[in-house]
């Protein structure tokens, strides 16, 4: 993972400098932008491996940047938000951001979260011969070798996080999987975060359910978790 390139888009120059130094010490290459316009230009001319995006920018809305990036790219995005911006956090996740960190935050935690997100972007390892290469159920087929998902035969596009979430649920089809278990397996975190799980479940349903408001594939069992099938 050493050598991956991170783009930080934030107007707080002191914070950006601290984040840059921490990531460079950890072996990453870092590009910085203090305005949305600068960030958009770098994203277009020299796309990074991961974006750290502040939602509150002087010339742009971070959620708009997130929406525009996700329309054309699967590059992972970690949002930086203030404690009072819960609605913005949810909107950002719904638009396709992979994770968020609330200010003030630990720089070590931010690096750890970036590493976890980047691991989810890595190509899946070829399953051992004794394990299945496909998952199927309720009209959804997952090719674990090709990293492809089809719904009723039609190829769909999932983010790496959505893909891992679907695989985690389908591997345990018929079982109730708690949000905590999904958080540990998909995100690699051991702390509970309802927003991260709930919003990505909603995003996944929007892509694999005929009617996301009346899901037939991913069921919610209140106080227990989620079940595929």
160-171 and 194-208 helices, crossing angle to 10°? 90
- Degrees, nearest 5: CA angle 210-216-219: 130
CATH number reported for the structural domain that contains residue 75 in this entry: 3.40.50.2300
Task: Annotate the chain with DSSP letters as a single string.
Answer: -TT-EEEEE-S-HHHHHHHHHHHHHTT-EEEEESSHHHHHHHHHHS--SEEEEESB-SSSBHHHHHHHHHHH----EEEEE-TT-HHHHHHHHHTT--EEEESS--HHHHHHHHHHHHHHHSPPPPPPTTS-SEEEETTEEEETTTTEEEETTEEE---HHHHHHHHHHHHTTTSEE-HHHHIIIII---S--HHHHHHHHHHHHHHH-SSTTS-SSEEEETTTEEEE-
CATH number reported for the structural domain that contains residue 212 in this entry: 1.10.10.10
Pair 75, 42 in one domain: yes
Inter-CA distances, 108 with 21, 105, 134, 151, Å: 11, 9, 37, 39
The backbone torsions φ and ψ at residue 130, rounded to the nearest 5 degrees and listed phi first, read -80, -10
How far apart CA 100 and CA 146 sit, in angstroms, is: 29
- The tens place of each residue's pLDDT in the chain, 229 residues long, gives 568 999 999 999 999 999 999 999 999 999 999 999 999 999 999 999 999 999 889 999 999 999 999 999 989 999 998 766 677 778 888 888 999 998 889 999 999 999 999 988 876 665 555 678 999 999 999 999 999 999 999 999 998 899 999 999 999 999 999 998 999 899 887 666 778 899 999 999 999 999 999 999 999 998 899 999 9
Total domains present in the chain: 2
Pair 144, 207 in one domain: yes
How far apart CA 35 and CA 22 sit, in angstroms, is: 21
Its domain, for residue 80, covers 5-121
Pair 25, 116 in one domain: yes
Q: Judge whether 56 lies within some domain.
A: yes
Pair 45, 147 in one domain: no
pTM of the model: 0.68
What is the reported pLDDT for 187? Answer: 87
Pair 159, 216 in one domain: yes
Half-sphere exposure of 112 (CA within 13 A, CB side): 10
What is the reported pLDDT for 130? Answer: 65
Q: Judge whether 61 lies within some domain.
A: yes
The pairing of beta strand 140-143 with beta strand 134-137: antiparallel
Q: Judge whether 129 lies within some domain.
A: no
How far apart CA 26 and CA 34 sit, in angstroms, is: 22
């Amino acid at each position: 993972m050493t050598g991956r390139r991170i783009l930080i888009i934030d107007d707080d120059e002191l914070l950006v400098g601290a984040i840059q130094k921490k990531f460079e010490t950890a072996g990453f290459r870092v590009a910085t932008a203090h305005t949305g316009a600068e960030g958009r230009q770098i994203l277009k001319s020299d796309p990074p491996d991961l974006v750290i995006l502040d939602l509150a920018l002087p010339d742009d809305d971070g959620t708009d940047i997130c929406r525009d990036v996700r329309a054309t790219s699967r590059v992972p995005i970690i949002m930086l938000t203030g404690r009072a911006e819960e609605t913005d956090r949810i909107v950002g996740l719904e638009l396709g951001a992979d994770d968020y960190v609330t200010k003030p935050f630990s720089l070590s935690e931010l690096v750890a979260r970036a590493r976890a997100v980047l691991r989810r972007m890595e190509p899946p390892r070829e399953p051992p011969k004794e394990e299945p290469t496909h998952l199927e159920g309720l009209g959804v087929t997952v090719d674990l070798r090709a990293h492809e998902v089809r719904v009723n035969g039609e190829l769909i596009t999932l983010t790496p996080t959505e893909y891992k979430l679907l695989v985690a649920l389908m591997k345990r089809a018929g079982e109730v999987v708690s949000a905590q278990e999904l958080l540990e397996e998909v995100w690699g975190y051991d702390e509970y975060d309802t927003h991260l799980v709930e919003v990505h479940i909603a995003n996944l349903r929007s892509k694999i359910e005929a009617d996301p408001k009346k899901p037939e594939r991913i069921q919610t069992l209140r106080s227990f978790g989620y079940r595929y099938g």
